[in-house]
Structure 1
């Protein structure tokens, strides 16, 4: 690789930015600063990781006298993988913070959210199809300094936040709890039978990286180089997956914030 080719390859990394990400809606920073910080941090980290992937690929290939085009090096691949992990972590953190900060307000102002809370409360104290669990009822009645309603609301928030938000099903659960009803937005994270939507493919790749280190055939590890038995990720695929995770998160936050602004008025 000559000096000009190396410079051009490095410039690609330096110039990388996510395109067409939704901006925070009016009122988001004022009403939900901790939520928006999580979205921004994830976006910045993911963008930096993808930029570094291009830079690392160019540097490694330049040192070996190779053309920067073609398959990314193993080191650059790890940068891409980290970008997807950052994006997933941002979604998880932001949506859980969104639930914690907004449900106590929304449940008092939106019938759809209040109905969900009522259904949760019935399930929580139920004992069989028609009865009431006496232990649950006793705990509610004997709780000090809080009303039974406050206790149940805290439990609902806790249960919603208790497991990782790394699937379309969990995004749907959290967004629905917050009263998101926009059809076009919900379509993007509605679970599908074949798991073919962009956000589902993003979660699948994220989980393979986080739980299996992208190793496709561990039995081959003793005989083959590690990079040959790991899932290869294209930069453009990772970029589109990261962008979808981040954009869906921001759109959900914007949807909820718009309704909070109305409540505040």
Structure 2
């Protein structure tokens, strides 16, 4: 929000933690990520308030723009940490009772066997607890890389957790694509417009734009955790 004399950026407060022990670690990571990104925005407020001739509507200075870039990077790190932890803690439960999650696991195993099992898969099959070891490999495959866009959120997170399109529509996931484009430009190319050229121009980041991108990303992670909790609570009681 823009006030008289300085700009203050405030993230949307997180909702109440969903019920369920399995999602507790991922939720703690989300709370930490939210606090970290808010801290970056608070730092930006201090920087802008310290400038005697601030114009909140004008182009940001280099240090201010870098703080916005830092907010995007920390948000991206939060997404990775939260979602990977959610997968590690939830998938072993869900594939034993959620039809969609179980089907995705079966598809993974079939594909591995059809292509000729890797050394790791071969060892898992020969182990004393083959299914447990195959699940471990499956989760490792889904959490190996960082999340790069809505396709990753759909295939590696939503579908793996057995979350339906009704629970979290693909269209909602696609609203984060601009965030991931910005994240990749910053992480891979230091936000230069033409990283392969000789110019020094960098992408322009606005207060409102970055606040919206980071806010939307963290809110969506909260929804992922909540829907995973719903699916876990719906599992058949053993």
Name the TM-score, length of structure 2 as normaliser.
Answer: 0.87
Partner of 2:105: 117
Q: Against the structure 1 CA distance between its residues 153 and 233, is the aligned structure 2 distance closer, same or farther, given a 3 Å change threshold?
A: same
How many Å separate the matches in 1 of 2:163 and 2:56?
A: 44
**1:125 and 1:136 in contact (8 A); partners too:** no
Unaligned runs of 5+ in 2: none
RMSD: 2.5
Q: Against the structure 1 CA distance between its residues 120 and 45, is the aligned structure 2 distance closer, same or farther, given a 3 Å change threshold?
A: same
State whether structure 2 residue 168 is matched by structure 1 residue 185.
yes
Q: Against the structure 1 CA distance between its residues 66 and 105, is the aligned structure 2 distance closer, same or farther, given a 3 Å change threshold?
A: closer
Unaligned runs of 5+ in 1: 1-6, 191-196
User: Which of 2, 18, 26 is residue 11 of structure 2 equivalent to?
Assistant: 18
Task: Measure how far apart 1:264 and its partner are.
Answer: 8.3
How many Å separate the matches in 2 of 1:231 and 1:75?
A: 14
**1:198 and 1:241 in contact (8 A); partners too:** no
Map residues 1-265 of structure 1 onto 2, 5 A cutoff: 8-10=4-6, 12-13=7-8, 16-19=9-12, 22-28=14-20, 30-59=21-50, 61-62=51-52, 65-127=53-115, 133=117, 138-143=122-127, 146-173=128-155, 174-183=157-166, 185-190=168-173, 197-218=174-195, 219-221=197-199, 229-263=201-235
Q: Against the structure 1 CA distance between its residues 74 and 178, is the aligned structure 2 distance closer, same or farther, given a 3 Å change threshold?
A: same
